[in-house]
Amino acid sequence: MCGIIGFSSKNKYILHKMLQSINYRGPDDRGIYEENGISLGHVRLSIIDLSSYGHQPMVFDNLVMVYNGEIYNFVEIREELIDSGYTFDSQTDSEVILKAYHKWGIKAIDKFIGMFAIAIYDKKKQELVLIRDRVGVKPLYYYFDGKDFLFASELKPIMEYKKDLQIDKDALYEFFQYGYISNDLSIFENCFKLPPGHYLKFDLQTKDIEIKQYWSILPFFQAPKFQKSENELVDELEELLVEAFKYRMVGDVPVGVFLSGGIDSSVVAAILQKHYGDINTFTIGFHEAKYNEADWAKRVAKYLGTNHTERYLHVDDAKGILEKFVDIYDEPFGDSSGIPTTLVSRVAKEHGVKVVLSADGGDEIFCGYDRYWYSYAIGSNLFKIPYPLRLMISKMMDIIGVDNASKLIKIKNFAHKYNQLSEMLKDREWKDLYEKIVHNAKNYELRELVGQVFTKNMESFKIGEKEHPMQGMMLWDFHRYLPDDILVKVDRATMHNSIEGREPLLDHRIAEFMAQVPFEYKYRNGTSKYLLRKVLERYLPKELIDRPKMGFGIPMFEWFGGELKTLFREYFLEDDEYINMEFVRLQYKKLEEGKPVNINLLWFVLVYKMWKRRYLV
């Protein structure tokens, strides 16, 4: 795991400043490459071949490369290249990538199993190529204003180079809507994330940019579904999981597993403990019972016989991490579970682990989020009502108004439910309904806060919806929530602690396989992750599997309605040119008075204000 940077000019001073800003991503080594019109930089976290032979930038013939990530099947590719006449000086995957690209060009990516953000400069063609892995495990930003071209693993190096960056309003509004910014935008104008499964070519002479997609999950959903028995599917899935998980153990340093006790992390820990042995597992617990999964994780770890460590997160720990939150996430980022993820990464680092496996992706691939069946239940009933009638009801609700209706109906959190129903009644499609449900800040709140609602086309939803509306929801999350929230959270939290996070469930072969599995094996008769559970039943007793899903959340209302409340007060006093702070202060007043309030919206505003003070003021 490493950090990479580059820009289309030559300036050694700024090159080192940019590298220093992400030194925690690779404290073991640092390297630069310069020539007229191009500068490349790399900071290295040594995982495979700890010797100096892994130093980057790496040069071969006309190619210069900086790279972040892991290619787990590099040994097999290396043997193929040796058979073709290539020789190797190191045992690194970096050298394999460079020589594979030399032989096969961009088609080399099709051979890679792993996570990666790669930059290759071709001296002959005067061309820079950026490549991001299929699912988006590794981050890769780029900036282009028609003159300067920059790229980096995070935004910090770009902010070191460009001191006049301007906020992108669409990105900011999307952040308030979801708590994250999608993968083809960033918080700044002219600055973007390279989407997962894409590569970018930049011509240093003409300054032309070309972006192409090299992989997509969608063709596998459009292919015929498997016509196999349940036992055949379970056997094939288990075989895939075992191979994918073993690949993620490749390295010359200690490895651990984040264990929540849920289905996904239990599968990872169970398979590795059986097929690899002596696994280190790590868990974060909460003193607030309804958020605490530590007891379940301990029971799973005890049954499997792993080397288990748990740490309880107290509000004082949260305060310490909050002080660094916008340094860890250098773009506004609202997933509060970044706090426990940062702490569990720190705990793993303290125990000598340099690589951790996190079980992200299971919900999106196997159908695990309870919001899927919750949304489906709402939509199934709502869409039975003819649209003209629904539209008329919604207009009547708007005329009556929430204040008048609340005088007649006394139920908890009535205003929110009334406004949300009024908006859902207007929806024509499943996608629109689902987006309203996953919005952390609801549309009626966003109109008060920023004056508009961010919208984005998602063709993948319709492809999944043809099989089942919940499959459309899963694809929405696979293309948005997973790469732009979950994977960002794990990458920044682990890298802040100078350890590498790996995502075994996101082996693209698992995703491709499950895309062709009929939906009935993902969700059946109220049972989520049906096929994955069948695999896990081969490793754990059912009493450790069948339990309510909790997720990795924190006691937001308890903490921010209590000891952390003063943070809001400090940042909410000043006005802001982008958002309606009077509306924010009104919501904060409700919090102080103990009235129902969207605590996530207040948290998003706090993160934005903290970020803005840190980077722009």
Q: Catalogue the active-site residues.
A: 2
Assign 3-class secondary structure to 582-616.
Answer: HHHHHHHHHHHCCCCCCHHHHHHHHHHHHHHHHHC
Angle between helices 581-592 and 599-615 (to 10 degrees): 130
Q: Which of 17, 308, 303, 11 is nearest to 156 (CA)?
A: 17
Distance set, CA 217 to CA 233, 365, 476, 516, 531 (Å): 19, 11, 12, 10, 19
Which uninterrupted H or E stretch holds 150?
strand 149-152
Instruction: Return the bridge partners of 309, or none.
Output: 282
| CA triple 261-492-346, angle to 5 deg | 60
Give yes or no for a contact between 138 and 491, defined as CB atoms under 8 angstroms apart. yes
Instruction: Identify how many contiguous H helices and E strands the chain contains and give both numbers.
Output: 29, 19
Q: How many Å is the maximal CA-CA distance in the chain?
A: 82
- Residue 404: CB atoms within 10 A of its CB come to 9
**What does DSSP say about strands 209-213 and 29-35: parallel, antiparallel, or unpaired?**
unpaired
Direct distance between the N- and C-terminal alpha carbons of the chain, in angstroms, rounded to an integer: 32
Find out whether 37 and 8 touch, Cβ atoms under 8 Å: yes
Q: Is residue 206 classed exposed, middle or buried when 0-12, 13-18 and 19+ CB atoms within 10 A define those classes?
A: exposed
DSSP 8-class letter at 54: G
